[in-house]
Chain A
Amino acid sequence: MAQIFLNQKKINKAKALGANIAQNIHDYIKDYTTDSVERSVLRLYGVDDADDEKTPLCNKIVDILKKEKLINSGVSKYFAAAMLKTDSHANKTAEMIINNKIDLKKVLSMQSLEKISEKEQTLAQDAVSVLDRSKKVKNAKKAGFPLCEKPYRYVIVATGNIYEDCTQAESAVYSGADIIAVIRSTAQSLLDYIPSGATTTGFGGTYATQKNFSIMRSALDKISKQQKRYIRLVNYASGLCMPEIAVCSAFEDLDILLNDSMYGILFRDINMKRTFIDQHFSRLICTRADIMINTGEDNYLTTSDAVEKAHSVTASQIINEAMAKQALLPDDLLGLGHAFEIDPEMENGFLYELAHAMLAKKLFPNAPLKYMPPTKHKSRDIFFSICMDTMFNLASIATNQGIHLAGMPTEAVHTPSMSERHQALNSVNYVFNTAKNLCDEIEFKKDGIISKRAKQVLDSTIDLLEKINKSGLMSAISQGWFAQIKREPDKGKGFDGVIKKSENYSNPVFDIISK
Chain B
Amino acid sequence: MNKNLIKPYGDTLNDGIIQLCFTLPVKNSAKAKKAAAVYLSELNLEEIRIVHCHRIAENFTYIVAFARAIPFIDYSKVKADEAETGKLDFYKINKLIKEKLMRKIVVVGASIGCDAHSVGIDAIMNMKGYNHDYGLERYPQIDAYNLGAQITCEELVSYSVRVNADAVLVSQTVSAKDAHIGNLTQLVEILEAENLKDKFILIAGGPDISNDFACKLGYDAGFGHSTIPSSVASFIVTKLLKKKGEI
A residues sitting closer than 8 Å to B (CB atoms) are 158, 160, 167, 170-171, 174-175, 186-187, 190, 201-204, 267-269, 302-303, 376, 380, 412, 414-415, 417-419, 422
Contact = CB atoms under 8 A, between A and B. Distances in A.
Contacts of A268: 116, 150
Interface string B39-68: 000000000000000111110101000000
A170 B177 CA distance: 23
Contacts of B62: 418-419, 422
B218 interface: no
Nearest to B126: A484
Contacts of A167: 57, 60
B118 interface: yes
A422 B56 contact: yes
A170 B116 contact: no
Contact of A187 (B58, B114, B118): B114
A204 B60 contact: no
Given A174-B56, A187-B114, A422-B54, A203 B177 contact: yes
A267 B21 contact: no
B207 interface: yes
Contact of A203 (B60, B116, B176, B207): B176
Interface in B166-186: 174-177, 179
A204 B179 contact: yes
A418 B176 contact: no
B115 interface: yes
Contacts of A419: 21-23, 56, 62
A267 B148 CA distance: 11
A418 B60 contact: yes
A370 to B, nearest CB: 20
B54 A186 contact: no
Nearest to B118: A303
B56 A171 contact: yes
B92 interface: no
Contacts of B23: 417-419, 422
B179 A174 contact: no
B57 A170 contact: yes
5 contacts: A175-B56, A186-B179, A268-B150, A303-B118, A418-B57
A449 B60 CA distance: 46
B163 interface: no
A201 to B, nearest CB: 8
Nearest to A425: B56
A160 B119 contact: no
Interface string B113-130: 011101100100000000
B179 A376 contact: no
Contacts of B175: 414
